[in-house]
Amino acid sequence: MTLISPPPAGGATLEAPWPPATRAWWAVGVFCIAAVLSYSDRQILSLLVDPIRADLHATDVQIGLLQGAAFAIIYAIAGVALGRAADVLPRRWVIVAGIVVWSLATLACGYAPSFRGLFVARVFVGVGEAALAPAAMSIITDSFPTNRRGVATGTFLMGMIVGGGVALALGAAIIHAAQSGALRGLPILGDLAPWRAGLVVLGLCGLPIALLTATVVEPQRRHRLSGADAPPASLRQAAGALAAMAPVLAPLYAAMGLSSLCDFAVLNWTPTLLSRRFAVGVDEIGAVLGMVVIVGGVLGSAGAGWAADLVARRRGPAARLLLAVGVMILGVLGALPVIAPSPPIVFALAGLWIFASTTGQCIGITVLQEMVPGDARGLSVSLVSLINIGLGLALGAALPALVLEHVLHDPKAVAAAISIVALPSAIVAIALYRLAYRQARKVEG
């Protein structure tokens, strides 16, 4: 057997040639931009913790809920339905609708009069963003042959992690501009608190990107359970195909989920660590941490995609996962900000973890998309999102706050709280990537 799902006999001869490279990379570029915006809207709250607390009289646990549960629960629930929609509906329009919804919801966050209003608006941000990854990954997988798919996947995922850095840098810039009076007199932003202005700007950025997404041309769906010209496979058939691959998919999904938990624990609470322990200003945190996240994310996505394609050509597709294991072992120190004696070391450790985690996620999703049939790709990626967001964001954002308030009882012990949550999760994730590799090798025969 091969790791790549073979096309059904009835549909193999009907599949069209691969799309032109220019068309395929245009789609990747557009989706990368949308991913930057998506993660910017998602992550900007990590820079706004203390201003929101002061303005809305919220606690650290409530802020953890805003960053986690408010977004994650609905994202996880809506993601499965929208993943299925990506398997049966025109995928670009699924993405366009999602961008419009999350952009309007981000605008609403900027105008929320209370914690409850902000919570509800974040719920709708989650609904919209759940549409992007399943539909985009399905289009990308149908646009590139196997030996070029890692780079394309890595480029798209690079947009997600770069978005975290953009959120920090752009948010810091907007807050600085608002605090200095540079936005005074503007009809939309002038009278808003700085943290609100940042959210409104990001919300307005989404509408032109939705129009850009409408220019993407969809490729033919490939390697489908139902054949090239038949209606899409039923939900039961698609779910059955994924269940049959459980020995590989279960540890792979769990590894990516635990890695995501570490991501959100590190990204959501490192700004607060730097502010409370080292008294670093918001503008410096945003600029430096944003750049660190961008560099780590680019190296771990585009770089990992290139390296993984090279490994796959030489040792088979499953060997990509062995590369993920090696990089994750190198990056485990990034889950230990408690050892950092100064802000530069905190920044460096955060960048190291983002590089390692992004490498694992990029490789994991590439292997996943190569394994599953075309009728189930949207569903398969929605399950990644379900686990990454449900386990990662909901717990990764909330657990450090719970450890701070109920275990450590010290608001300044943020570094210890991050490490207590992140380190065990990182170690287990490494073991699970290794298990997924072993199972994938058995499938390859």
Domains of the chain: 21-219+238-444 (1.20.1250.20)
Distance, CA of 108 to CA of 362 (rounded, Å): 32
Most confident listed range (59-63, 116-120, 368-372, 424-428): 424-428
From its phi and psi, is residue 358 left (phi > 0), alpha (psi between -120 and 50) or beta?
A: alpha
Is the confidence at residue 352, as pLDDT, over 90? yes
Q: Which of 212, 240, 184, 180 is nearest to 376 (CA)?
A: 240
Q: How confident is the model at residue 100 (pLDDT cuts 50, 70, 90)?
A: very high
List Cα–Cα distances, 235 to 27, 49, 81, 343, in angstroms.
27, 41, 10, 50
Output the six-digit token pair for 238. 């698609």
Task: Please give the model's pTM, rounded to 2 decimal places.
Answer: 0.73
Question: Which of 62-71, 398-407, 433-442 is predicted with the least confidence, judged by mean pLDDT?
Answer: 62-71
pLDDT, mean of residues 373-380: 82
Write the pLDDT tens digit of every residue in 385-417: 788 877 776 788 789 989 988 899 888 899 999
pLDDT, mean of residues 131-150: 86
List of residues 6+ apart from 73 with CB closer than 8 A = 123, 126, 390, 394
Q: For residue 52, what is the DSSP state?
A: H
What is the pLDDT at residue 434? 96
Q: For residue 223, what is the DSSP state?
A: S
Is the confidence at residue 4, as pLDDT, over 50? no
pLDDT, mean of residues 414-428: 94
Is the confidence at residue 247, as pLDDT, over 90? yes
Q: In residues, how long is the chain?
A: 445
Is the confidence at residue 15, as pLDDT, over 70? no
Write the pLDDT tens digit of every residue in 163-210: 666 766 777 777 777 777 777 767 777 678 877 888 888 888 898 999
Q: What is the dihedral of CA 344, 350, 351, 353, to 10 degrees?
A: 140
Distance, CA of 15 to CA of 6 (rounded, Å): 12
Q: What is the dihedral of CA 426, 298, 38, 183, to 10 degrees?
A: 120
List of residues 6+ apart from 243 with CB closer than 8 A = none
More confident residue, 230 or 427: 427
What is the pLDDT at residue 227? 58
What is the pLDDT at residue 441? 87
More confident residue, 294 or 164: 294
